[in-house]
Amino acid sequence: LPNPSSSAGQSARSQLWRTQPLSEQQRNKKKQQQGLSGFNRVQAVSADFVADVGDLPPLLNDILLRAVFGEPATGLRVPLWLLRQAGPHLPEYRQLLAHHGHAELCRNPELASELTVLPLTRCELDAAPIFTDIILVPIALGLVAKQSVGGVNQRAGLIVSEPLTGPADRAALALEFGAARGRLHCVLEALNLARRRLMGRAVLLGLAGAPWTLLARMAGDPGLAVGWLYSQPEACERLLDKLTGLLVDFLVDQVAAGAQALQVVEPLAGRLSPNLFCQFALPRLRRLASEVRARIGPGVPLILFAPSCHSVLEELACSGFDVLGVDHTMRPEHCRRVAAAAGVAVQGNLDPALLAYAPSEVLRDHVRRMLRAFGAKRYVCNVGAGLLPETPPERLAELTRLVRLLVEDLSSKNE
């Protein structure tokens, strides 16, 4: 593959950012695929969306991509988007949640795409993560899920209601890996619709949970899954490898459906000791990054967010992803040094509680210090955890204006 910093790499990315019209060969291929059915049709999902991508709006706001790959932007800008930016802090979301429920919001492409774009109606953000739930993958494998406890003003989510009792129990052996890819088609449709609704205003971000986190969620209790790693390591290895293969296909399909960047989340990595993480979780993250990159080519940033992983930050930075997401408990200077040594960009670090509770002057002070520590190059401004339900909706626009103003005062130490 072309080196991202080379002229060939930049040219390849430019071609990916700006979609081209369908060729006659692509149109004929699409017609042939429309006659496929069953598992063959599932395998054609990616190619089918590739044929459609030529009709999608081109990306007009590429500030995030330029920041990730260290390319110059027009004017001094730091890209900004927020974890869980379409969530219970927005009244429109609460209304939809009360009427439809979280599962329906995730599995209905029309509703999911509407929520994906919703935050951009309030302020100018540089990325729009697809509205989804990582539990859709276990559901696609045949597990049963239910709504987690909580009202419309709290964080909504899905949990596995009939968890595995072991990595090689009857339910684990019956997981439907062959059919799962096709059952995730609702996410691809939502991405395709969201890409059209965005009209190039922001990078459309695909999303998936990492293998270890999915295994822990399928166990119903992360502590129980940790025990499996010690008591049944071979069975865990086999199940993690199968999950990794499915996730590679799923992420590639998301790009084919219209995603312009991908984020893999590993929120339960902090439950592992450094040794367990390096033995079980890290190899799958490396495989994800390597195999997805080999299939999608250059130009689509791969973001990894694994909070509470201070002890393995260097390993995460060198795992093959383009962006290292960090939480709000880490020192910015340390994160910047680790990322710079690995040649990757950094994302995150702002405490979401600041947006929910802090007076404007306190928020301004923290954002100023964070931006000075990270600098204007290869940094994506974001929170270090999902936005809190208590966050006033108007804080999104306030943060956007604040970052735009403060970035002009950045120290020249990162120039």
Residue 226, in any domain of the structure: yes
Whichever domain contains 120, its CATH number is 3.20.20.210
Any domain includes 297: yes
Alpha carbon separation from 259 to 58, 122, 252 (Å, rounded): 12, 22, 9
Number of structural domains found in the chain: 1
The predicted structure's pLDDT at residue 75: 64
Q: Domain limits at 397?
A: 7-19+56-414
Would residue 380 count as lying in a domain?
Answer: yes
pLDDT at site 77: 85
Tokens of 231: 């008591």
At residue 150, the pLDDT reads 60
pLDDT given at position 54: 63
pLDDT of residue 147: 86
**Can you give the pLDDT of all 415 residues of the chain as single tens digits?**
334 334 444 444 333 333 333 344 443 443 333 322 222 222 334 444 444 566 899 999 999 999 999 987 666 789 999 999 999 999 999 999 999 999 999 999 999 999 999 999 999 999 999 999 999 999 999 999 998 866 544 566 899 999 999 999 999 999 999 999 999 999 999 999 999 999 999 999 999 999 999 999 999 999 999 999 999 999 999 999 999 999 999 999 999 999 999 999 999 999 999 999 999 999 999 999 999 999 999 999 999 999 999 999 999 999 999 999 999 999 999 999 999 999 999 999 999 999 999 999 999 999 999 999 998 889 999 999 999 999 999 999 999 999 999 987 664 444 4
CA angle 146, 149, 150 (to 5 degrees): 130
Inside any domain, residue 27: no
Report helix, strand or coil for 33.
helix
Please enumerate in sequence order all residues whose Cβ is within 8 A of that of 275, keeping only pairs 6 or more positions apart, or say none: none
- Quick one: pLDDT at residue 26? 42
- Helices assigned H by DSSP within 54-151: 63-68, 91-100, 102-107, 109-117, 136-140
What angle, 0 to 180 degrees and rounded to 10, lies between the N-to-C axes of helices 45-53 and 233-257? 30
Q: Is residue 366 part of a domain?
A: yes
- For residue 388, the 8-state DSSP code is P
| Encoded tokens for 84 | 């869980």
pLDDT at 382: 98
CA angle (113 as vertex; 251, 249 as ends), nearest 5: 10
Instruction: Say if 26 falls within a structural domain.
Output: no
Backbone angles phi, psi at 297, to 5 degrees: 80, -175
> Tokens 């429309």 belong to which residue?
34
Confidence at residue 375, expressed as pLDDT on a 0 to 100 scale: 87
Residue 360 · residue 398 · CB < 8 Å: yes
